[in-house]
Amino acid sequence: MPKAILVQHDKFHVPGGGIIEIKIWRLPRPTPERPHGLKYSLFFGFRGERIVGYDNERGKGDHRHSRNREYAYSFVSIEKLLHDFRSDVELARKELGK
């Protein structure tokens, strides 16, 4: 069976000790759980603490995290996903003063 192909992996350290990490894979084929054919994990936080996250882990579908809360996310495109994530990270960094 073909494996997922990593299409993007970026990791940045931001002022104040924060980390931004983006991983996106293209699946061999869409699935009922991932009809867009992508698996992704987007993270902003600090060592051991997620502030903002977007992912679609198995069994949960597309969703986003804000601190300790989880919300459904309507996936439209990779571009929109990255835009939404960056907007949430910018807002969180302003709230944190970092």
Q: What is the mean pLDDT of residues 11-17?
A: 92
CB 9 within 8 A of CB 42: no
Q: Give residue 92's domain range.
A: 5-96
Q: Of 89, 42, 82, 33, give the one whose Cα is nearest residue 62.
A: 33
Residues 29-55 have pLDDT tens digits of: 999 899 999 999 999 999 889 999 999
The predicted pLDDT at position 16 comes to 86
Tokens for 91?
Answer: 């807002």
Confidence of residue 97 (pLDDT cuts 50, 70, 90): confident
Q: What is the largest CA-CA distance in the chain?
A: 47
The predicted pLDDT at position 25 comes to 97
Examine the pLDDT at 74 and tell me if it is beyond 70: yes
Total structural domains within the chain: 1
